[in-house]
Structure 1
Amino acid sequence: MEYKAKYITADIKLSCYEDKFFKSDIVFDHHMLIWFLSGTTKIVQADATYIFKAGDIFLIPRNQLATIINYPADGLPHKTVVMHLSAERLRTYYSKLDVNPAPLPSPGILCYNKHPLLESCLASLIPYFDMDVLPEDIAALKIAEAISILRAIDKKTDRVLANFETPGKIDLADYMERNFMFNLPLERFGYLTGRSLTTFKRDFKKAFDMTPQRWLTRKRLELAHYQLTTQKHKPLDVCYEVGFENLSHFSHAFKKYFGYPPSNLPRAL
């Protein structure tokens, strides 16, 4: 995979994947405002799947688990303008406002349907990626402009962007049942459930009576079997969407667990 990126600052980049495919399981530390220039992305979350193409604009809230699958399209690379809305910048922005909104519980991805104001704001960044000397504070001004537009066009914005809470301790069993398909380090699962790694492992053992690694593998394989047999998905698609890193590992684990490879399901199924 060939990846290229140009930066105005660490918070604003032009991202380009020129290979055929890229997949990652991730949880973002910052809110991400993204404008698609070319290519296609599938974003799989616990309760929704999104497909984004050229021209689409969307916001991924922080601390949201997702599987990101990027594809080139129409002979063009996967290219996006990405703006990180960090907690530091957001605190600075909201410190000047008298707002104290109630947090929006578990916000999904917010889509803006090629909104002209947002598109104009993000398009105005393009010339800066090729400049060696940039106007002072241009990134801060552009991020503030984007936040102002988001607040004007979506009343839920403050409930997402002005929420600076860290994840608190939540029901581990419920959270893992909804998010087992995301292939993240156990430390991240611990953080997102409000626990240290040691406490996470201890509570996990109490909840499921087995290690996290064994339970996660079993759950992912059972979901894969369902998608292959009932929903008739292709093994390659299933492999990445249930939390495996590559088809070879998935096929080996699937055959070991079920007795036959995912490409050769018994006729009775």
Structure 2
Amino acid sequence: MPTKQLHSERPKMAYSCYHTRNREGEQFVPEHIFGYQISGSMMMSDGQKEIVFNPDDFRFIRRNNLVKFLKIPAPNGDFKSVSVYLDQQTLRNFSMEYGFKATGHYAGGDAAIKLPPQPLYKSFMESIIPYQSADITIDDKLQDLKLREAILILLQSKPEIKDILFDFNEPGKIDLEGFMEKNFHFNVQLKRFAYLTGRSLATFKRDFEKIYHITPSRWLQQRRLQEAYYLIKEKGKSASDIYIDLGFEDLSHFSYAFKNKYGVAPSRL
């Protein structure tokens, strides 16, 4: 069973369940996520640091980040997790009602944070799990109440998290070259790269071509192929091991692009 949204329109809570097969992917995280690993494990990377979430682990994933993930079912079992999406409007409403505000910048820069075990976390998540049943739908008012409960629990157990939850600033304009060298392997739309570097899409493309004298799409493919060549030639990696990690959607496209650039198939390098 794939991820089941616990709300019919805009999901704010979701239950994921997969059988026997690993699921791999990557995504832009637009909202903070408070999650609980029920069974199986999740490997997550922001391109710089990798973290593994095992059964009974709780996680907090920060918004405006790019992450890669691998969902691994338990041996002879399932991958199961629950995710609560703390959207900006809910957090703004909470901030105005209760007077919580960010008072500084959160020191940790990781996209994903493993939260220490906390009985309140588990009791909260267990109160949500029954709603994954096909014949139960969460009412909007009840959903809002559960989101507020999640925020209060996070604030009580980890007070410093307010500097993440109530920081409503959008990404500022940052060094484009440094950002792209760090994140070129993420297969996301150009508008996401533009947003995360504090630019409109048009400004991003203009600034990019001033630096690289080439279009972003063409540079991304060349940079990914350059990294692939290094990993295969110098590190002995196989094409099937690296093509997804480098932002290619399928192996055949990667092999074709590689041969077109280097004149030899990756398997023959």
TM-score range, shorter chain: 0.7 to 0.9
Could you say if the C-alpha distance between residues 211 and 259 of structure 1 is closer, same or farther in structure 2, counting changes exceeding 3 Å? same
Aligned to 1:239: 243
- The number of equivalent residue pairs is 264
- Is residue 183–residue 243 contact of structure 1 (8 Å, CA) maintained in 2? yes
Aligned to 1:79: 80
TM-superposed deviation, 1:33: 1.1
1:194 to 189, 193, 198: 198
Q: Distance in 2 between matches of 1:135 and 1:198?
A: 41
TM-superposed deviation, 1:103: 3.0
1:122 to 121, 125, 133: 125
The Cα RMSD (Å) is 2.4
TM-superposed deviation, 1:178: 1.1
Aligned to 1:99: 101
Could you say if the C-alpha distance between residues 210 and 114 of structure 1 is closer, same or farther in structure 2, counting changes exceeding 3 Å? same
Q: Deviations over 1:168-210 (max 9, x none)?
A: 2222111111111111111111111122221111110001111
Q: Distance in 1 between matches of 2:213 and 2:140?
A: 57
TM-superposed deviation, 1:232: 4.3
TM-superposed deviation, 1:245: 1.1
Question: TM-score, length-normalised on structure 1?
Answer: 0.87
Q: Distance in 1 between matches of 2:200 and 2:20?
A: 37
Q: Deviations over 1:111-143 (max 9, x none)?
A: 114433212211121123335365773222222
Aligned to 2:6: 7
Which amino acid in the other structure matches residue 143 of structure 1?
L
TM-superposed deviation, 1:223: 2.2
Q: Deviations over 1:48-96 (max 9, x none)?
A: 1222232221111110011223233312232210100001111122221
TM-superposed deviation, 1:163: 0.6
Aligned to 2:112: 109
- The 5 A counterparts of 1:146-165 are 146-165=150-169
Which 10-residue stretch deviates more, 85-94 or 8-17?
A: 8-17
Q: Distance in 2 between matches of 1:136 and 1:99?
A: 25
> What is the aligned-residue identity percentage?
34
Aligned to 1:37: 38
Secondary structure of the corresponding residue to residue 24 of structure 1: strand
- Is residue 58–residue 112 contact of structure 1 (8 Å, CA) maintained in 2? yes
- Is residue 107–residue 160 contact of structure 1 (8 Å, CA) maintained in 2? no
Greater than 4 Å deviation, 4+ residue runs = 133-136, 229-234
Q: Distance in 2 between matches of 1:186 and 1:6?
A: 27
- Is residue 27–residue 68 contact of structure 2 (8 Å, CA) maintained in 1? yes
TM-superposed deviation, 1:218: 1.6
Which amino acid in the other structure matches residue 245 of structure 1?
E
- Is residue 30–residue 63 contact of structure 2 (8 Å, CA) maintained in 1? yes
- Is residue 6–residue 138 contact of structure 2 (8 Å, CA) maintained in 1? no
Return 5+ residue gaps in structure 1 as ranges: none
Which amino acid in the other structure matches residue 141 of structure 1?
L
Could you say if the C-alpha distance between residues 262 and 54 of structure 1 is closer, same or farther in structure 2, counting changes exceeding 3 Å? farther
TM-superposed deviation, 1:107: 4.1
Which amino acid in the other structure matches residue 187 of structure 1?
K
Q: Distance in 2 between matches of 1:98 and 1:251?
A: 52
Question: TM-score, length-normalised on structure 2?
Answer: 0.87
2:142 to 111, 129, 138: 138
Which 10-residue stretch deviates more, 115-124 or 95-104?
A: 95-104
Aligned to 1:23: 24
Secondary structure of the corresponding residue to residue 243 of structure 2: helix
Return 5+ residue gaps in structure 2 as ranges: none
- Is residue 8–residue 128 contact of structure 1 (8 Å, CA) maintained in 2? no
Which amino acid in the other structure matches residue 99 of structure 1?
K
Aligned to 1:204: 208
Could you say if the C-alpha distance between residues 246 and 167 of structure 1 is closer, same or farther in structure 2, counting changes exceeding 3 Å? same
Q: Given the alignment of the two structures, is residue 175 of structure 1 paired with residue 179 of structure 2, yes or no?
A: yes
